[in-house]
Amino acid sequence: MSSEPKRILIIKLWAIGDIVMATPVVESLRVRFPQSRITWLADDRYSDILTGMPGLDEVISFDASRWQKLFRRGNWLAFAAATRSLRRRLATGRFDIVLNYSADKWWAPAFNVAHRSVGLTYVRRPFLKGFYTDWVEETVPIHATRYSMKICGPLGCREDIVRMRVGRLPDERDFISSFCASRALDRSLPIVALSPYSSNAAKDWPEPQFANLALALSSKYGSQTVITHSPQDEERAKRLAGQCGALVSGAISLRQFAALLGTADLVVSNDTSGMHIASAVNTPLVALFGPTNAWQYAPLQGDVRILSASDEEGADRGIENICFERVLAAAQELLEVSLPHPSPSA
């Protein structure tokens, strides 16, 4: 570009894992345009994970859930009014560039409130291409982060940056101190965080295996286990905690969740948001994959051990086929490296 843009808008509304995998775009933009103001539009269910992220100047939260319901219920007038309202809100930002990750959606051009817009999509949408000044269409599936970085190409930005970031609490130490005190967590002992639940049961390693893992690590290292969970999984988390003497995270925000994972000595997670956030905060991680492709979604940074149920030909055998011994060995390997003190059994 002939001159540096003053204001750049990123549009990626959802969901947590997809947003976190796309965060390297901020660093790429910041390297290319160090003086630009960078803003991100996100669904208000997930925007907290971006607030306070290095390199990002502003987060605009949008009630996308309500907005979608208006459309699905056929309330066209209210949907159109909400769309116009958001467009007017974005227009006040006087953006020079819009990076639109929703380019495959028919409604997405309504938010191209800049003289230059870049659309990114896997889906062929020739009738939408004309609404963008730059169009990036991937025809072959690639890693989700590398795909997200393709949107940088037309701006002359680096596409090889893969380091994920998340927003951090300004009072993170105070939160962790309060959290540990309220749950009688001893910070002098190892903390293992388990993230066992996703939105797809086929992605979840069996609960009894997680319980056995917590017991085995506690026996060898004296570790304390925290079960992380979404509000809808609270009862399941309490049930699992009861099987292995673990604690539950309780109702915490996304940035508090990131702070908790950042404090842990080890995270063991299915392919869910906890996996991506743990990698973003550089906590040693054991990532378990069932029906989803590790080559497409596994973190590209940090100390990670990836265990997949798929065989070498890619055939899915079900996540329950990841044997306990493999997970335990990977967890022990990471703990042995990360712990600053010898294990009690040494």
Per-residue pLDDT tens over the stretch 81-136? 999 999 999 999 999 999 999 999 999 999 999 999 999 999 888 899 999 999 99
Residues 188 and 133 in one domain: no
Residues 54 and 177 in one domain: no
- Per the CB < 8 A criterion, the answer to whether 191 and 261 are in contact is no
CA R_g for the chain: 21
**Cα–Cα dist 196/33, whole Å:** 39
pLDDT at 317: 75
Residues 206 and 325 in one domain: yes
Structural domain of residue 308, as residue ranges?
A: 172-338
pLDDT at 125: 86
- Per the CB < 8 A criterion, the answer to whether 162 and 145 are in contact is yes
Terminal Cα-to-Cα distance of the chain (whole angstroms): 60
**Cα–Cα dist 92/83, whole Å:** 15
Residues 129 and 267 in one domain: no
Half-sphere exposure of residue 124: CA atoms within 13 angstroms, side-chain side:
2
Which domain-ending residue is among 127, 155, 183? 155
CATH number at residue 49: 3.40.50.2000
pLDDT at 316: 59
Query: Using the 8-state DSSP alphabet, how is residue 212 labeled?
Result: H
pLDDT at 312: 47
pLDDT at 105: 95
pLDDT at 257: 98
pLDDT at 151: 98
Is 100 within a domain? Answer: yes
Is 164 within a domain? Answer: no
**Cα–Cα dist 158/175, whole Å:** 36
Phi-psi region of 96 (alpha: psi -120 to 50; beta: other; left: phi over 0): alpha
Q: CA triplet 134, 137, 142: central angle to 5 degrees?
A: 130
**Cα–Cα dist 207/13, whole Å:** 31
Residues 97 and 18 in one domain: yes
Which domain-ending residue is among 155, 188, 213? 155
Residues 140 and 181 in one domain: no
Strand bridging mode 266-270 / 191-195: parallel
Phi, psi of 62 (to 5 degrees): -140, 130
Is 345 within a domain? Answer: no
Is 47 within a domain? Answer: yes
Residues 184 and 217 in one domain: yes
Low-confidence ranges of the chain (pLDDT < 70): 1-2, 311-316, 340-346
Which domain-ending residue is among 98, 120, 155? 155
Residues 51 and 137 in one domain: yes
- Per the CB < 8 A criterion, the answer to whether 186 and 263 are in contact is no
Confirm whether pTM is higher than 0.85: yes
| Tokens coding 79 | 């949907």
